[in-house]
Amino acid sequence: MRVTICFGGSILAPDGPDIDCIREIAQALRALKSRGHEVLVIVGGGKPSRRYIEAARKFKASNTRCDLIGINVTRMNAHLLIAALGNLAEQEPVFTFEKAIRAMLRDKIPVMGGTTPGHTTDAVAAMLASSSKSELLVFFTDVDGVYTSDPKLDRKAKKFETMTSHELVNLVAGQRVEPGMNIIIDPIGVRLIERARIRTLVLGRHEISRLADILKGAKHSGTTITPG
C-alpha cells in the first residue's frame, strides 16, 4: 500500500522534541517498510513553532514571515525524524512533492515539513497524498480522532468513528487559517481531502505502534473519513 502519514507537532514536539515519540514513530515506519508499504511522511512544528511565531508577532512580523518561521521549525523536526530513521530515510528534508515521490520510488522514506507560506502541514499532507496517488492518508495527533467539538474544552464532545469528507468540511467550515493554528485538520487540508477523494484516518499517538496492523485491517480507536 502507498500511504502518506502526517505526524502532528502536538505529538512530536508538545513542548520540545519528544524523543520517545520520535523513536516510536521510527520503529513504526520501519515495520511498514518491512511489510512492503510505500511511505511518505510529513511532520508538524508543535509548540516550539507557535512560540517562535508568537515572538515574531511581537515584532509585528507579517503572516508570511510567521509562516516561514513555522516552516523552519517543522524542518528541524523533520531532521530529527530522519536521524531516528537512519539510512531508511531520504537524508535531507524534502521541499517538493516531486522530490518526495522520487525518493519514495527509490525505496526511501521522504520526510517533509512545511513548504509554502499559507499552507499548513495538514494541507501539505493532503497535497502530497493526492500528488503521489496514495491509497491512504493518516494523521496522528494528540486527540484520538475527530470530535463534534474540542474534547479538551468540551466534556460533551462526541467522537466520530466514521464520517464522510463532506461532513468534515461542514464541521470545520468558517475556521480561519493562521500561522501556528492548532486544530485536528485545518480547513484547507480538509477541502483537499474531499477534492482528492482520499480515504483518511485520524489517530491518537497511542496507535502509532499499531500502525502496521491498522493498515492490514485491524480495528483502531480513531476516526475513518471516507470520500463523500
- Rounded to two decimals, the pTM is 0.93
pLDDT at site 174:
60
pLDDT (tens digit, 9 = 90+) per residue, 21-80? 999 999 999 999 999 999 999 999 999 999 999 999 999 999 999 999 999 999 999 999
pLDDT at site 179:
52
Predicted confidence (pLDDT) at residue 182 exceeds the cutoff of 70? no
pLDDT at site 178:
52
By percentage, how much of the chain surpasses pLDDT 90?
A: 79
pLDDT band at 163 (very low <50, low <70, confident <90, very high): very high
φ/ψ of 137, rounded to 5, equals -120, 130
Instruction: Write the CA distances from 40 to 94, 154, 167, 205, integer angstroms.
Output: 10, 34, 26, 18
- Cβ burial of 58 (10 Å; 0-12, 13-18, 19+) is exposed
The least confident of 108-117, 161-170, 187-196 is 187-196
Domains and CATH numbers, the chain: 2-226 (3.40.1160.10)
